Amino acid sequence: MKKVGIIGSGTMGIGIAQLAATAHCEVFLYDANFSQTEKSLKNLKTTLNKLAEKGKISTEKSLEIFNQIKPCQEIKELKDCDLVIEAIIENKEIKQKVFAELETYVSEKCVLGSNTSSISITSLQAELKNPERFIGIHFFNPAPLMPLVEVIPGLLTENNLAQEIVDLMKSWGKSPIIAKDVPGFIVNRIARPFYGEALRIVEENLATPEQVDDAMKSFGNFKMGPFELMDLIGIDVNFSVTKTVYQDYFFDPKYKPSLLQQRMNEAKLLGRKTGKGFYDYSEQRQESRAKNQYLKTENQQLITDNQIFMRIISMLINEAVEAKRLGIANDEDIETAMQKGVNYPKGLLNWGKEIGYPKISEVLQNLYEEYQEERYRQSPLLRKLN
């Protein structure tokens, strides 16, 4: 697969293009908005020059990578590709329309992949003429740096294709894992409580976003707290994934979206990309962190930092245990996914052993008794673990 097409030249698309070009592939980059492609290539050139200046890559290598990427003004220019990866808006109907058009141009041997983070691979491939050559190839942002790639075969995907893509991703220097085609796959399913429970704590006026972030960083050693991370990802993107997972699990209360996050989305307070989200990024950044737009008050934090940490980490560990029970991935891949996909400081299954599964069970039971909500139900496997 030496000729690789990328559909979508946004942050993910250009990142995947850079990655493929670095692996000596000839890359064909297409976006319906050609000015976006030009802008992204200009930014990529700046990035590569900086890498060369810092000695991370040679000047020759930076030029080689850039010259491997061919901007395309029409989708039919991808006709000779061996592999095409779509990285556009998270909308099933739009993706299906793009793939239906693409199929009219590429050969029957061309593999079609989607970088979707939460949409069912089976639902995307079902309308295709050759659904067996379709597969999920989910990178994490920024694609050139984050090692994890989730490879997701749909129900109609040819049996050997997943392993072929795993081998290809390894040749690109990635750490691929095979995931079942379930809502959110591995990472976005298991990680939902990191955001959802943090939002719930703030919605209940038990603590501010800054206090929650501080608790997760000080007690859990997370590099970023949930609100900092939502601001980085984009509150609209994070909210969209949560809604998709919630709907696709037939409105399971565990994945219920946050009204606070919806209001932030409606107000266009989307995080770093708009200059303001849960934190304000519009001021000059002379301070160590951006100013929080939520004011701290003495009576606002009604639970301790340790209680915040235990509430969120217990929900995360419970979700990892349930993924293990359902065979969404094996233990090793679950641990790898969360550490290499979202930079968790430890694998959640081992973290559960460290804290003690009975303690995790106790925290969830107390939350269930307090709220009387299915949101806090335990995995049937959790109580059996010691």
Catalytic residues: 117, 138, 150, 188
CA distance linking residue 216 with residue 296, whole number of Å: 17
Cis peptide leading into residue 142 (ω within 30°): yes
Looking at residue 337, its amino acid is A
Query: In which residue are the tokens 């995947």 written?
Result: 16
DSSP-derived secondary structure letter, 257: P
For 79, the token pair is 């006709």
Tokens for 10, please give them: 């946004």
Q: In angstroms, rounded to a whole number, what is the distance separating the alpha carbons of residues 123 and 120?
A: 5
Q: What is the DSSP string of 209-233?
A: HHHHHHHHHHHH--SS-HHHHHHHH
- CB 199, CB 258: distance < 8 Å: yes
Do residues 151 and 176 make contact, with C-beta atoms less than 8 angstroms apart?
yes
Tokens of 284: 């000059």
SS3 (DSSP) at 255: helix
Helix extents (H) in the chain: 11-22, 34-53, 59-67, 92-102, 121-125, 161-171, 187-190, 192-203, 209-220, 226-233, 235-248, 259-266, 305-325, 331-341, 348-355, 357-371
Sign, Cα dihedral of 103, 105, 108, 114: negative
Element containing residue 113 per DSSP (H, E) = strand 111-114
What sign has the CA pseudo-torsion 242, 247, 250, 253? positive
Per DSSP, what are the bridge partners of residue 292? Answer: 279
Q: For 72, list phi and psi in degrees, rounded to 5.
A: -120, 140
Paired strand residues for 30: 7, 72
For residue 21 the two structure tokens come to: 């070009």
Query: How many CB atoms neighbour CB 299 within 10 A?
Result: 6
